Chain A
Amino acid sequence: MVNIQINGKMLEVENGAMVIEAADEAGIKIPRFCYHKNLSIAANCRMCLVDVEKAAKPLPACATPVTEGMIIHTQSPKAIAAQKSVMEFLLINHPLDCPICDQGGECELQDVAMGYGDDVSRYSEKKRVVANKNLGPLINTDMTRCIHCTRCVRFGEEIAGIKELGMTGRGEHAEIGTYVAKTVSSELSGNVIDLCPVGALTSKPFRYSARAWELRQFDSIAPHDCLGSNIHVHTRQDKVMRVVPKDNEAINETWLSDRDRFSYEGLNSEERLQSPMVKYNGEWQETDWDTALIAAVDGLKNIVASAGADNIGMLMSPSATLEEMFLSQKLMRALGCHNIDHRLRQQDFRDQDNAPVFPWLGQSIENLEQVDAALLIGSNLRKDQPIAGHRIRKAAIADAKIMFINPVDYEFLFPVAEKIITDPRQMGKELGAVAKALIEVAGVTAPEGLKALLENVVPTEQHKLIASNLSNANNATIILGLSAHTNPDFSTLRALASLVAEMANCTIGYLTDGANSSGGWLTGAIPHRTHQQEKVSSKNLNALEMLRSGLKAFVLQGIEPEKDCADHALALNAMEQAEFVVALSMYKSESLLSEANVLLPVSPFTETSGTFVNVEGCWQSFNAVVEPLGDSRPAWKVWRVLGNLFNVDDFDYLSSDEVRDEVHSFAGSVTADNKIAWKIPNALQNNVDGVVRIVDTSIYSIDPIVRRAPSLQQTADARIPAIHIGEELATRIGLMDADQALVRQGNGQVTLPVIIDDRLPKDSVLIPPCEMGETYLGYESSVVELEKI
């Protein structure tokens, strides 16, 4: 610690801190453009010049480390003069176009110019003009406004891991740009909008739609991945205008993924369901809530009477709130129905009784950047959970050994120590080989049954390296990602991963689907356990079994079954076969209109209060920021009224807080433990022959809101339906790039263009979820047939 003095204030500051950090800490304002607390120091704008006693010239506060006894003045005549001169230089080439600039009102340059600029410019020569760049559908550029702080450049290099923006030319001719026009392809790209202190980089979807001073700001939680990034929602006249990050060092720091930032467009979609609807004799009619609720209750009562309550299935979005999940399962169980699930994309449930109370990250999000080795199984980390990807990237850059066992050779923008790219059928075998290597390398004793299971497995050098990297590390972790969860051998992967974790003495964690999987487990939105963690002994079907069992009725919340379930074709078929379908939905989608009998309009996260429990077990509650659109209502209220209409006891909640507090009373103190008892998996791999399909739900088709955000749908990550196929397999079948081919999977078939993709393992093709008219394909890792046409 050193003692310094700023503007007469005595401060005790950490050794090595910069003057600007000390000042920020003490609440003393120093103007700045290039300095940003989460980026490296460039010290190129010179706006932060301060007067340091005994120094001949003013010094940049952002690049001057504190020293014992330093006396600093930020407002002395010398400091002010320096800052004024810098301001004058910065304004020389800056256009005076604030009235038509989107940054107006929230522009750092405008603000600082108010304090340090002169009212009249002495500069009457020509100003320079810079051509705008095309940075894709999310970021708008007005490069003449750029003041060359290089925050955007440093962000690309240091945070996003893609250096696409750069400064070319020099002096007067210096320009920020991508030189050869390239769309910024990072999943975190929108952050440059916040970073840019001026109006050079602004949000394209938000452009010209509102002024900063017209907006009201509310806190909320992003609803698309299991991290629960903290956000500010900006609204005007009861409409969500945009979303920006809210600092939370423990979760998203200052960053936000593009998905969380731009998905709000989906909230204002034309397709929003605005009033309750009931289908009478095949004709939809808009109606009032009472009629619709009675129709729903009567329909369900009929099914209970004729076929029994266990002929109903309830499918819940994994991004529904804790309150919604709790109330819905409470209602269904009271009716005698235990077919309740939020694990929609999962297909292997064999070990669910053995699963942890709630599968969680196994560590704090912050710890992800502290690990010195990590093995991720089935994870497209960057796209699945961009913020977790950023944390792991930091670890990788600090020389942690980050390793993957994946079905696709995804691009990670950090050094990957080892990767095994394998057919989804073989993932268990590869993990088994790591376990065997660990026994050999580390000399741990194998638990019962393992030896026989791994008899035919021969670990390669690579398996041994992974094993030794894990066992030699002090802080290592194994994480099961999204595509591990959808793998048909999830239980095998879980058993082996837990075993490897135990043998290598590292943590085991999960990165789960949706924003509230943790809440789903805690509230009993799973068939086999109640919210009190009691085992359900009566008949209970998981998500996949429900679709397979020809149930007579379904209750849905927040999903489109043929897009959000493991097997798209099966889901569609199950809905069509069912006699009665009630959907609590935000959208009036084509498919729901054809499948459902009653549509109840419910609110997205911006129009309801609720709670998400993130993957580290952190409970984050939020409030509604705008009124529900049209006649839509918060889903927790709908469940409460349904509970009342069914005369279920204890259903008189007055607020969502009351519901949350009740859940908290039994689930708040649950300690999460991912360790599971070792159980021998049946087999290491499933021996299906033929070519299998990898589904790989893309970052921008993961839930109904994102699917309706037009700007995100125009990015490179919003993949077009196509068959991605490896060179070798393509040649074998006689397919070439850009050919059309027919795919058959189960009962579905579609014709799609072929893309040769060298990221794929043998005997696998990647076909993202297809939304081609009426045709839907089956599920992850099942066999497909391909035919050239």
Chain B
Amino acid sequence: MSQSGLSTKTKSSKSKLHLLAEEVRAEIDQELTKYPNGWSISACMPALRIVQDANGGSLTTELMDAVAEYLGVPEISVYEVATFYSMYELKPVGRHKICVCTNISCMLCGSDGIVEHLKSKLGIGFGETTDDGKFTLKEVECLGACGGAPMFQVGRDYHENLTPEKIDKILDQLD
């Protein structure tokens, strides 16, 4: 089935393409070459990641619309992807996103204490950002590092076998 006819663009709604910078588009184009013609929707996930990275770690409705427009797919199809995966952020996040695993292995190895420590140290709960915009705390499911439980991910880095002391050291090194 050809996908090109499915766009919902109405004539009156304003184009949001200008929100995507040259470099961002170039990167998305690169991804698009990986998929057959007419299946630009397949590049939706990488496109969202690229746009999220370029926007300081989060997406907005306008940016999602721009991605939909750029890929030529209905807006809702992009929303579906962005809301399904927990790694897309739909609200602004701090400079460092701390994703704490509380799934079974980590829980058995004491993730409760880790969470407690993080919450009191940062003064925020899950889904919140510190006032200085430095940290966002997130609860996530298994990140596939059960062997090093308890663990969390900060930005792109995994940190395993966590203890309160180790956490302090990791966080203090960040600016």
- Interface members, chain B 1-36 (any A CB < 8 Å): 1-2, 4-6, 8, 10-11
- Distance of B59 from chain A, by nearest CB (Å): 12
- B61: A residues at CB distance < 8 A: 179-180
- A161: B residues at CB distance < 8 A: 5-6
Contact B76 A178 (CB under 8 A): yes
Contact A166 B11 (CB under 8 A): no
Within the assembled complex, what's the spacing in Å between the Cα atoms of A622 and B99? 66
Q: Which residue of chain A has its CB nearest to the CB of B79?
A: A179
Q: Which residue of chain B has its CB nearest to the CB of A173?
A: B83
Tally of A-B Cβ pairs under 8 angstroms:
54
Contact B11 A759 (CB under 8 A): yes
Contact A411 B2 (CB under 8 A): no
Contact B5 A167 (CB under 8 A): no
Total number of B residues with any Cβ neighbor in A under 8 Å: 17
Within the assembled complex, what's the spacing in Å between the Cα atoms of A34 and B38? 27
- A415: B residues at CB distance < 8 A: 2, 4-5
Within the assembled complex, what's the spacing in Å between the Cα atoms of A411 and B5? 11
Contact A163 B8 (CB under 8 A): yes
Mask for A377-406, Cβ within 8 A of B = 1, else 0?
000000000000000000011010000000
Contact A397 B8 (CB under 8 A): no
Query: What's the dominant secondary structure at chain B's contact region?
Result: helix
B157 adjacent to chain A (CB < 8 Å): no
Total number of A residues with any Cβ neighbor in B under 8 Å: 23
A227 adjacent to chain B (CB < 8 Å): no
Contact B83 A168 (CB under 8 A): yes
Q: Which residue of chain B has its CB nearest to the CB of A759?
A: B11
Contact B80 A166 (CB under 8 A): yes
Within the assembled complex, what's the spacing in Å between the Cα atoms of A179 and B75? 9
Within the assembled complex, what's the spacing in Å between the Cα atoms of A169 and B75? 15
Task: Report which of B2, B5, B76 forms a contact with A179, defined as CB distance below 8 A.
Answer: B76
B77 adjacent to chain A (CB < 8 Å): yes
- Distance of A374 from chain B, by nearest CB (Å): 15
- Interface members, chain A 173-192 (any B CB < 8 Å): 178-180
- A396: B residues at CB distance < 8 A: 5
- Interface members, chain A 400-445 (any B CB < 8 Å): 411, 413-415
- A399: B residues at CB distance < 8 A: 2
A560 adjacent to chain B (CB < 8 Å): no
- Interface members, chain B 76-104 (any A CB < 8 Å): 76-77, 79-80, 83-84
Residues A167 and B80 in contact in the complex (CB < 8 Å), given A180-B61, A397-B2: yes
- B150: A residues at CB distance < 8 A: none
Within the assembled complex, what's the spacing in Å between the Cα atoms of A50 and B172? 58
A758 adjacent to chain B (CB < 8 Å): yes
Contact A411 B74 (CB under 8 A): no
- A169: B residues at CB distance < 8 A: 83-84
- A59: B residues at CB distance < 8 A: none
Contact B5 A163 (CB under 8 A): no
Contact B74 A164 (CB under 8 A): yes
Q: Which residue of chain B has its CB nearest to the CB of A180?
A: B61
Q: Which residue of chain B has its CB nearest to the CB of A412?
A: B5
Q: Can you list 7 pairs linking A and B with CB atoms under 8 Å apart?
A: A157-B74, A163-B6, A164-B8, A166-B76, A178-B76, A179-B79, A758-B11
Q: Given contacts A179-B83, A414-B5, list 8 more A-B pairs with CB under 8 A.
A: A161-B5, A163-B6, A163-B76, A163-B77, A168-B79, A397-B2, A399-B2, A415-B5
